Structure 1
Amino acid sequence: MAGVAGPMLKRSRSRGTRFLVGLLAGEAIAAGLMSLAVYVLGEGLGLILGAPWRESLTGIAVVVFGFADMANRTPHIWRQVPQEHVRTMPPGMLGLTWGFDLGLLFTTQKSTSLTWGVLVAALLLHPASSSLLLVGMALAGVAAVSVRSVTWFSVSLTRFGDRVQPWFPWMRRTAGLGLVLVGAYTVWTAWR
């Protein structure tokens, strides 16, 4: 997103701002819908499963996601937001469309499984917090895109291109190790 927002802001601050506002609105709307689904499903599971079972399932899922990251196999759909919309949509609508797509969580690529870990934890451990967590993640994502769009970092990414790529597998493996440790601890404490 910074690869679009940054150049858009440089050409026209108002167009770039409309894109970022649309991105924020789209992500917030989709995150709100996702949090409603997580809340309803989580509350239903809470009626069926006791707390130790929910904690164990959360820990096991997080460990599986962590091992997937460590193996450089983060689960996700291999697609990005549609790039052809850049030329055909006005900036606000483009941001809204892309933001909604990203906010649904299941429709785009993921760098790590941290998103999935948060989603599983919200679903099984505290469904009432799902709106805070998912909308918070959406806001943090748009904030990161906004900061990257107006700083030197977005320029350095376009200037150095592939030289940044070697960091991604290490970042993914580090996140995976963290998920494995947190998940194992969660399973261990579930039955104490």
Structure 2
Amino acid sequence: MSFVGYLRPVAQSESDDRPAGRWSIATLAVGFLSSALLMTAVVFLLGHVLTTVLGLGQPARAGVAAVLLTACFVVNGDLFRFKPPMLQRQTPQRVFYLFGPVRGALIWGLDTGLMVTTFRISAATWATLGLVALGLLPWWAGAAYAFGFVVPVAIAVLGVPPREGPEDTSIEPGWLLEAITRFVKPVYRVASILLALNVVTLVLIAVG
């Protein structure tokens, strides 16, 4: 992750940039939260208008949501090697060098928080937006989405030991990368199980 790779050395250094590196987590959170809330609020409003015009009641919306989550389940399961539609881009790392760690983090958060403007490894984003559009999640669901993104990044940047000295030029501690790699598959399995349970619940609502 370019953000973590850039800011961890800054936040853990003994230079004058250290406070800025830590403040950047706050500006990241503000930017990401603002964009995520804006996105879910707009999607909620547009979805409300559309479902009202189409006359979709709760059973119909639950049925549509069940189809959507089933598609997300298939994508996340890697069984058919499908990939969710997304832009194959990340926020350019040069924003940090052009604007510094604090303002660069704000820009990074504003861009990434829009959900659909940067690369995502799972279909969870589309599941979130779909459920918001159908009125099955509140307009402020973007706040929960932001929390789930910003907190792990903050831990990765601030919750690791500082570099041992000037000769240590590593960007990430080895144990952190190993831990992330070790937990990726279990998290995917848990997410897939939760998606499946949600699909069953929505089907019961739709047919009930």
Q: TM-score range by the shorter chain?
A: 0.7 to 0.9
Partner of 2:27: 22
Amino acid at match of 2:5: G
TM-score, scaled to structure 1:
0.83
CA distance in 1, matches of 2:199, 2:49: 23
Segment drifting more, 168-177 vs 142-151? 168-177
Taking the TM superposition and a 5 Å limit, the aligned residue runs for 1:11-160 are: 11=13, 12-47=17-52, 48=54, 49-71=56-78, 73-75=82-84, 76-126=86-136, 129-131=138-140, 133-152=141-160, 158-160=172-174
Could you tell me which residue of structure 1 aligns to residue 167 of structure 2? none
Q: Deviations over 1:120-174 (max 9, x none)?
A: 11210346x122x102221332222112212238989924387554653554354
Give the structure-2-normalised TM-score: 0.78
* Unmatched tracts of structure 2, length 5 or more: 164-169
Sequence identity percentage: 24
Unmatched 5+ residue regions in structure 1?
A: none
The 8 Å contact of residues 35 and 130 in structure 1, kept in 2 or not, is answered as yes
* Residues 178 and 148 of structure 1, relative CA distance in 2, 3 Å threshold: same
Q: Quick check: 1:42–1:126 contact (8 Å CA) kept in 2?
A: no
Change (3 A) 1:43 1:154: farther
Residue pair 2:62, 2:202 contacting (<8 A) in 1 also: yes
Residues 135, 53 of structure 1: alpha-carbon distance in 2 compared, 3 angstrom cutoff: same
- The Cα shift of 1:19 comes to 1.5
Q: Which residue of 2 aligns with 1:7?
A: 9
> Contact (CA 8 Å) 1:63, 1:181: kept in 2 or not?
no
Distance 1:83 1:177 in 2: 35
- For residues 162 and 188 of structure 2, the distance between their equivalents in structure 1, rounded to whole angstroms, comes to 21
Tell me how large the CA RMSD over aligned residues is: 2.7
Aligned length: 190
